[in-house]
Amino acid sequence: MLNFDFQNKTKIIFGKDTENRVGQELKIYGKKVLLHFGGGSIKKYGLYDKVLHSLQEAGIVVVELGGVEPNPKLSLVNKGIEICKSENIDSILAVGGGSVIDSAKAIGVGAKYDGDVWDFCLGKAEVKDTLPVGVILTIPAAGSESSSGSVITKEEGLYKKAFGSPLIRPKFAILNPEITFTLPKYQTAAGIVDMMAHIMERYFTNEQNVDLTDRLCEGTLKAIIDNASTVLETPDDYDARAEIMWASTIAHNDLLSTGRMGDWASHNIEHELSGIYDMTHGAGLAIIFPAWMKYVYKHDLSRFIQFATRVWDVPMSFDDPQWTALEGINRMESFFKSLGMPTTLKDAGITEDRYEEMAKKATEFGPQGNFIKLEKDDIVNIYKLAK
C-alpha cells in the first residue's frame, strides 16, 4: 500500500427535501451568490423555485448564470469569472450535474486568479484560492459534488482538459434522490457507466496488497449493478435512486484511491470522443472501457480474474483462467448494452479515419495511463478493439 493523505471536507446532505436547506448552508459563506445551472430543466420541475425561496429566506442576493452545456465550455467559465469579479460574488451555487459543478469550480478558482483560468488546465498555475462552491446535485454520474477535480473544454481546438486541487472540493453537496426521478433514461444510464468507470480507473492499479480498497471498490460496483435495472425501469423508485446517487459520490470522493495509484487512461482517451463529438461522457466510457480491458488484461491476469469473479460472479475456471478474465469483461460489456449504452465507436458514428487524429491528440502531452503506459499506437489499437 502506498503512503497517502486523505481528507474530504465536503458536507454531504442527503435525502428527501434537503434542497430546502440550501439557504441555511450557503449563508455561512456570504450574502451574494452566483447561481449556476444548465438548461431550463431545473425550472421545469420546480427545483428552481424551491432553491430561490430558500436563498431568499436566508437573505441571500442571487446573480444568475445559466446555460452550462455538457462538456462545459471555457467561454462560459470566463463569463462567470467576469461576473464574480464585477459583482463581488461571495460564493457559487451549482445546481446541476458534473458539467455545471465543474464549470462552477473553474469559475471559483478563476475569480481568485489574475491570469487566464486555462492555465490551471495546462498545469501552468496551481490552485491557491477559490470562491466557496456549494452544490445541489441533479445528475448522479461525475462525482464532482465532492471531488477535487474539474474538466473544462476549450472550444478553440476542442481541447478537453482537467485540473485539480483539494481546495476545489465543494463546501457542501445536497443530494436528494427525488430530484433524479425525472432524469431521462439515457442520462441515467450514462451516469451509471461514468460512476462505474471512476471506480474501475482506481481498481486497475499495479499496487499489490490493497485488499480493503479492492473490497470497497467491488462492493460499490455491486451496489450500482444491482440497482441499475430498477432505476431504468422504475425511475421513481426512491430507494434504488438513493443507492445510485450515494454511490456516484463514493465512487469519486477519493476514498477508493487511498494507498494506490489509479489508471485514468480510459478517461483521457474518452475525452477525445466527448471533446470532439460532444457525446455524453458516460456513453463514451461504455465504448472505451471494454476495449481498454481487452487490450491490457494480460498485464495482470489475476486482477482481471478477481474483477470477474467478485464483481460479475463469473465462476473461476481453473483450467482456463483467461476465460474467467475475458468473461468478466464480456459481462460488463453486456451490462452496458443492457443499459442502452453504445459499446462501439460505430454505434457512436465515429469512423476509423479519425482514430489516428484522436490518438495523437490524446497523447499530445505524453503517454496515457498508469496500469500500462499507452502511446499513440496503443490508443489506435484500443480504438480498433472498440470499432
Q: Does 179 bind a second copy (CB under 8 A)?
A: no
Residue 316 has a CB neighbour count (10 Å cut-off) of 13
Residue closer to a second copy (CB basis): 8 or 344: 8
Q: Does 301 bind a second copy (CB under 8 A)?
A: no
Q: Does 216 bind a second copy (CB under 8 A)?
A: yes
Contact 218, 310 (CB under 8 A): yes
Look at residues 157, 155, 166, 221 and name the one whose alpha carbon lies nearest to residue 193.
Answer: 221
- Minimum distance, C-beta of residue 214 to a second copy, in the bound complex (Å): 8
Is the sign of the CA dihedral 51, 74, 90, 174 positive or negative? positive
- List the one residue from 3, 86, 319, 353 that touches a second copy (CB under 8 A): 3
- Minimum distance, C-beta of residue 383 to a second copy, in the bound complex (Å): 34
Look at residues 106, 95, 108 and name the one whose alpha carbon lies nearest to residue 67.
Answer: 95
- Minimum distance, C-beta of residue 21 to a second copy, in the bound complex (Å): 9
- Minimum distance, C-beta of residue 311 to a second copy, in the bound complex (Å): 11
Stretch that binds a second copy, among 42-50, 128-136, 222-230, 330-338 (CB under 8 A): 222-230
Spatial separation of the C-alpha atoms in residues 220 and 226, rounded to whole Å: 10
- Minimum distance, C-beta of residue 82 to a second copy, in the bound complex (Å): 32
- List the one residue from 164, 259, 321, 367 that touches a second copy (CB under 8 A): 259
- List the one residue from 103, 130, 205, 227 that touches a second copy (CB under 8 A): 227
Residues with Cβ within 8 Å of residue 227, at least 6 apart in sequence: 240, 243, 244, 247
Residue 184 has a CB neighbour count (10 Å cut-off) of 11
Q: Does 71 bind a second copy (CB under 8 A)?
A: no
Residue closer to a second copy (CB basis): 65 or 242: 242
Number of residues that bind a second copy (CB under 8 A): 42
Partnered with residue 73 across adjacent β-strands are 153
Q: Does 255 bind a second copy (CB under 8 A)?
A: yes
Spatial separation of the C-alpha atoms in residues 175 and 46, rounded to whole Å: 16
Residue closer to a second copy (CB basis): 242 or 339: 242
Q: Does 12 bind a second copy (CB under 8 A)?
A: yes
- Minimum distance, C-beta of residue 367 to a second copy, in the bound complex (Å): 27
Q: Does 311 bind a second copy (CB under 8 A)?
A: no
Give the three cell numbers for residue 223: 451496489
Crossing angle (nearest 10°) for helices 321-338 and 281-296: 170
Contact 386, 342 (CB under 8 A): no
Is the sign of the CA dihedral 191, 193, 197, 199 positive or negative? positive
Spatial separation of the C-alpha atoms in residues 73 and 319, rounded to whole Å: 51
- List the one residue from 32, 222, 331, 354 that touches a second copy (CB under 8 A): 222
Crossing angle (nearest 10°) for helices 265-277 and 281-296: 140
Is the sign of the CA dihedral 116, 119, 120, 124 positive or negative? negative
Residue closer to a second copy (CB basis): 10 or 91: 10
- List the one residue from 246, 292, 336, 371 that touches a second copy (CB under 8 A): 246
Q: Does 4 bind a second copy (CB under 8 A)?
A: yes
Q: Which residues bind a second copy (CB under 8 A)?
A: 1-16, 18, 208-209, 211-212, 214-216, 218-220, 222-223, 226-227, 238-240, 242-243, 246-247, 250, 255, 258-259
